Structures are given as structure tokens and as C-alpha cells.
Amino acid sequence: MKKDSNLYVKIVAGAIVVVLIALAMMNYKPLPTRSEELPSQAHPVLSEGGYQQAMLTYTSKGYEMVPSVLKAGIPVHVIVDLESVTGCLRSIILPQLGVKKTVGEGDDVIEFIPTTPGEYTIVCAMGMGTGKFRVE
């Protein structure tokens, strides 16, 4: 009789675990990554603070900024996605703007004001990663 009751307890406990896992998976929503915080768009949207917000990631194509077109004369806050921008790629240079910044945990925002329309280059300090964005 003892073996039967132990088996019964194990079966019930296993069933409860399966039900709890199923319930947890039904309510699972992954946390948004930094790159999901901004909509994918070509042109910027002004924040309540009056600045343009952009996201900088690194892909197989190099640095990519979303939105890829910024407006001249309006301050920009670029949030760097530290999951994709790693190693020497975190030492970011915007040569035409005179901006040089090494980003990291707790300091992942680059700020600048683009004043002149044109195409701008993004490069890492070692020259291994590059990218471009436009200012209109």
C-alpha cells in the first residue's frame, strides 16, 4: 500500500508541475530589448523633451541607426544597443560631428546636434565597424 501512495503523490505532483508550466507559458511575454523601444521608421519623432531619439545597433551590415534620417538643428539622443554593440565597437566616433564616446552599462546614450544636412559616418575607434546616417 505504501508504494501505491508514493506513486500517487509523484503522479499528482508531476501533473501540478506540468499545469503550472503550461500556465506560465501562456502568460509569457518576453521583455522588450532596447532595439524594440523605438519603432522602425525612416524619419525621427520628437520626444516630449524636444529631441530626436534614435537607436544604434550593430548587424552584419555594420552600424545601423533607426531612424536613419535625422533633422538638422534638433538635438539627438542615440541609445546604443549594448547587446549588439560589443567590444571595440563601443568606442564610437562620429567624425564629421566631432563626437567620440565609449559607451557601456549605465552610459549608453550619445548626444549631439546635427547642424548641416548630409551623410554622416559612424566608425569604431579601431576602424573595424562602420555605418552611415543622413541629416536633412
Segment 83-99, tens digit of pLDDT:
999 999 999 999 999 99
Reported as half-sphere exposure (CB side, CA atoms, 13 A), residue 46 has a value of 9
Q: Residue 69's CB: how many other CB atoms inside 10 A? A: 16
Among residues of the chain, what percentage have pLDDT more than 70?
78
Higher pLDDT, 33 or 14: 14
* Distance from C-alpha of 125 to C-alpha of 88, rounded to nearest angstrom: 7
Q: What is the DSSP letter of 104?
A: B
- Per-residue pLDDT at 123 exceeds 60: yes
pLDDT of residue 39: 47
Higher pLDDT, 22 or 134: 134
- Per-residue pLDDT at 68 exceeds 80: yes
pLDDT of residue 38: 47
Three cell numbers at 93?
A: 566616433
pTM, rounded to two decimals: 0.67
Higher pLDDT, 51 or 20: 51
* Distance from C-alpha of 43 to C-alpha of 117, rounded to nearest angstrom: 14
- For the domain bounded by 34-135, which CATH number is listed? 2.60.40.420
pLDDT of residue 12: 80
Residue 97 φ then ψ, to 5°? -100, -5
Do 51 and 79 contact (CB within 8 A), yes or no? no
Higher pLDDT, 3 or 38: 3
Mean model confidence pLDDT for the chain: 84
- Per-residue pLDDT at 36 exceeds 60: no
| Strand residue runs (E) in 7-83 | 52-59, 62-66, 69-70, 76-80
Helix and strand numbers (H, E) in the chain are 1, 9
Do 44 and 71 contact (CB within 8 A), yes or no? yes
Domain boundary assignment for the chain: 1-30, 34-135
* Distance from C-alpha of 66 to C-alpha of 40, rounded to nearest angstrom: 6
